[in-house]
A and B are shown apart, each in its own frame.
Chain A
């Protein structure tokens, strides 16, 4: 599985300036100020309900901030839609809907290929080429539910890449896929980044995903910390992020987060049970 050079265009810059978002209640994001530079590959980490999805939706213009501004390449996001690619959580997809793999990928340019049912041979060939590069050759006419979890994830990635986005946003792209597929997806994203695309993805998998990303933003309503894993993976930052005692073990370049400290630090007594602290999404409904 290799991404050809045709997929990517140069990256775009994403900037949050004092952004606060709410859904008729307490803020989900509060005073978030952050700049993601062109060509960065950034992971958003934080517990369930920490505002990761809201961050992505705000960047996409789907959630309007009540305060602050969001700029893509210096312009409001509504004027920069053509630069965006978005891969939603697979859980949000209606898998019973009658669409084939090719129909999904072509949606990526629904507003550019003409509104009528037929699509030019060139655009379809391009979609097929893209599918082939993502290891999905020959599956064009399959229904989306007939694919494996990793293939499904890649179909929706293909739909986003069909737009040749300069800013690619992915919501939990590695949830529900096996280890091999997770590696493939991460390799593919690294390749896209190497070609210049700016990529922001959310993940709740600290050890499996976050440690392998070059840059992390720790989000829990506010930005708790940001930087390479070597800098943000510290006991005090992660414990503050998850409101639970977490411990980081280093082995050379690799940092591993564990949620069973040998002894509970005194200041955390009475804090949340540590059992579900590492990957709380498994235990709580969204």
Chain B
């Protein structure tokens, strides 16, 4: 039997685990807005766009995070503007902007093949290669985004649920949209090293969808989604060590597995409730749980 505590004796593993928990939790938290605002495609596109910026930054000898952040913020605001204006189909515009940006990154890489390997982590995630700096960035971003989401909870909720009435009641909805775009960009930049460009969209969406199946309350959905995201990060990294599989892929596969389980659970609960409604309630029997 393998020693289950063995991986913890390596510093790189503990660091990677912590980074994955933080990145997963952060994606779970921000993912609630991504799902409820139907922004999954934006999340997917933005992560690809940021990859282009990161590669460009590498060629220009800039810090990875600075280049990715600047590019990410610009892309996020551009996408946000495009969506708000609704002149051309938003999905088409997003597809053009973000895929062109991704293509730029791929073009640069393919031209100078010597640094291809450096970007494998950015594409597919390499949690076990997480440096002290990476961990620091993930932690700071998680803290910052967590604070923003907490301290703007009511206006963000209102602007997401019912933007028109929110505007009437004095919520600065344009600022809330921009704020969320920035939070999303920061999340992707911070989680990229751990989860990879190609897998971030799933890490954003799945925990939120799982949480939605388990609760009807917005507040609970945020708590559950963050927890599920962090849990997927932890379990995924742990399993990736034992099975020697790419960390980002394992995290997403764990999340997908939990999604299937939560779907089954929600179906079972619905069926049970319908049965309870169909039968006249017996005296003393507990009321069906909500």
B284 at the interface (CB under 8 A from A): no
Interfacial chain B residues near A115, Cβ < 8 Å = 151-155
Interfacial chain B residues near A100, Cβ < 8 Å = 216-218
Inter-chain contact B168/A107, CB cutoff 8 Å: no
Chain B residue nearest in CB terms to A57:
B164
Interfacial chain B residues near A107, Cβ < 8 Å = 154, 157-158, 161-162, 165-166, 169
CA distance A141 to B217 in the complex (A): 8
Question: What distance in Å separates the Cβ of B183 from its nearest Cβ neighbour in chain A?
Answer: 15
Inter-chain contact A94/B161, CB cutoff 8 Å: yes
A26 at the interface (CB under 8 A from B): no
CA distance A3 to B170 in the complex (A): 26
Write out, one digit per residue, whether chain A residues 39-72 have a CB within 8 A of any chain B CB (1) or not (0). 0000000000000000000001110000000000
Inter-chain contact B154/A116, CB cutoff 8 Å: yes
Interfacial chain B residues near A104, Cβ < 8 Å = 161
A93 at the interface (CB under 8 A from B): yes
CA distance A61 to B170 in the complex (A): 11
Inter-chain contact B154/A99, CB cutoff 8 Å: no
Inter-chain contact B153/A86, CB cutoff 8 Å: no
Chain A residue nearest in CB terms to B223:
A117
Given A88-B165, A93-B162, A110-B171; A98-B217 close (CB under 8 Å): yes
CA distance A143 to B218 in the complex (A): 10
Question: What distance in Å separates the Cβ of A203 from its nearest Cβ neighbour in chain B?
Answer: 20
B44 at the interface (CB under 8 A from A): no
Inter-chain contact B154/A61, CB cutoff 8 Å: no
User: What is the predominant secondary structure among interface residues of chain A facing chain B?
Assistant: loop
CA distance A111 to B150 in the complex (A): 15
Given A97-B36, A113-B154; A103-B169 close (CB under 8 Å): no
Number of residues on chain A facing chain B (CB within 8 A): 33
Interfacial chain A residues near B218, Cβ < 8 Å = 97-100, 103
Question: What distance in Å separates the Cβ of A216 from its nearest Cβ neighbour in chain B?
Answer: 24
Given A98-B218, A103-B218; A111-B162 close (CB under 8 Å): no
Inter-chain contact A108/B169, CB cutoff 8 Å: yes
The listed residue with most B CB atoms (<10 A of its CB), out of A82, A93, A111, A143, is A111
CA distance A61 to B173 in the complex (A): 14
Inter-chain contact B221/A98, CB cutoff 8 Å: yes
Inter-chain contact A84/B217, CB cutoff 8 Å: no
Chain A residue nearest in CB terms to B161:
A97
The listed residue with most A CB atoms (<10 A of its CB), out of B162, B212, B217, is B162
CA distance A108 to B221 in the complex (A): 21
CA distance A93 to B160 in the complex (A): 12
A138 at the interface (CB under 8 A from B): no
Interfacial chain A residues near B161, Cβ < 8 Å = 94, 97, 99, 104, 107
CA distance A115 to B162 in the complex (A): 16
Write out, one digit per residue, whether chain A residues 132-174 have a CB within 8 A of any chain B CB (1) or not (0). 0000000001110010000000000001000100000000000
Inter-chain contact B154/A81, CB cutoff 8 Å: no
26 contacts between A and B (CB under 8 A): A62-B164, A62-B167, A86-B169, A94-B161, A98-B215, A99-B157, A99-B216, A99-B217, A100-B217, A103-B217, A103-B218, A104-B161, A107-B157, A110-B154, A110-B155, A110-B166, A111-B170, A111-B171, A116-B154, A117-B153, A117-B154, A117-B219, A141-B290, A142-B290, A159-B165, A163-B169
Binding site for B on A (CB under 8 A): 60-62, 81-82, 84, 86, 88, 92-94, 97-100, 103-104, 106-108, 110-111, 113-117, 141-143, 146, 159, 163
Further pairs besides A97-B161, A107-B154, A115-B152: 15, Cβ < 8 Å: A88-B162, A93-B162, A94-B162, A98-B218, A100-B217, A104-B161, A107-B157, A110-B154, A110-B155, A111-B170, A114-B154, A116-B150, A117-B154, A141-B217, A146-B216
List of 6 A-B pairs having minimum Cβ-Cβ separation, nearest first: A143-B216, A117-B153, A110-B158, A110-B154, A111-B170, A60-B168
